[in-house]
Amino acid sequence: AMGLQAAGLVLDATLPPDLSRGAQASPVALDRRGAWLRALPVEDGRWRIRADLARTDERFVERLIAVEDARFWRHPGVDPLAVVRAAGSAAITGEVSSGASTLTMQTARLLTPRPRTVPAKLVEMIRAVQIEARLSKREILALYLTLAPYGGNLEGVRAASLSYFGHEPSTLTPGQQALLIALPQSPEARRPDRRPEASRRARDQVLDKMVRAGVLSPIEAAEAGE
């Protein structure tokens, strides 16, 4: 981890991360009470509404971290324990898994998409350390929740919540939270409007992970899966 941090500091001066994609968001029209009316698309007709952690369900954020990156608040962008575990898995299966990807690494990939290869993964690690040196943890979460893909032309948790559930992500049921955690990992294959069965399976898998992580009770998970 220290070596990665040193590499990140050198690269930060010579090749800073490109954060411009996160700055491009859909202009949003609100009514007099502040309720969402409509948004204008960004490039390629994508709906990308900037995430606002202050107006995002805190339990959703807590459960997202528990499922996707349990040591998010403590690591410097790269989780050494997850890297060792993923390297062991790759040695056995011969495949690069996404298990070592922290939320910061996923954010780096969303800022500058790359093929899923070992060299690209190493670049993501360095970029993640650079991003951590520039942004706070909450800013990184907001950036991830602004850029994450949710199927079709939807990007960001607000666009997904408004489109799929008809409301802002300020309050979300456990089932809705599980779906919003599952979708960015495979957005087209799990779209609830096009692939409802796959969507339900993915949601239920995340509900199980929430229970195992201790952030949802088995009773709540059973009710959410109905």
Q: What is the mean pLDDT of the chain?
A: 86
Average of per-residue pLDDT across 148-155: 93
pLDDT of residue 21: 79
- In this predicted structure, what is the pLDDT of residue 100? 74
pLDDT of residue 201: 96
Distances, alpha carbon 111 to alpha carbons 54, 114, 127, 183, 191, in Å: 22, 10, 10, 18, 22
Residue 85: its pLDDT value, please? 74
Residue 165 tokens, joined:
């559930």
Contact between residue 112 and residue 143 where contact means Cβ atoms under 8 Å apart: no
CA-nearest of 4, 151, 184, 133 to 78 is 4
Q: Which pTM does this prediction carry?
A: 0.84
For 54, counting Cβ atoms within 10 Å of its Cβ (0-12 exposed, 13-18 middle, 19+ buried), the class is: exposed
8-22, 97-111, 201-215: which range is least confident on average?
8-22
Q: How confident is the model at residue 20 (pLDDT cuts 50, 70, 90)?
A: confident
With beta carbons less than 8 A apart as the criterion, state whether 1 and 80 touch: yes
Q: What is the mean predicted confidence (pLDDT) over 110-134? A: 90
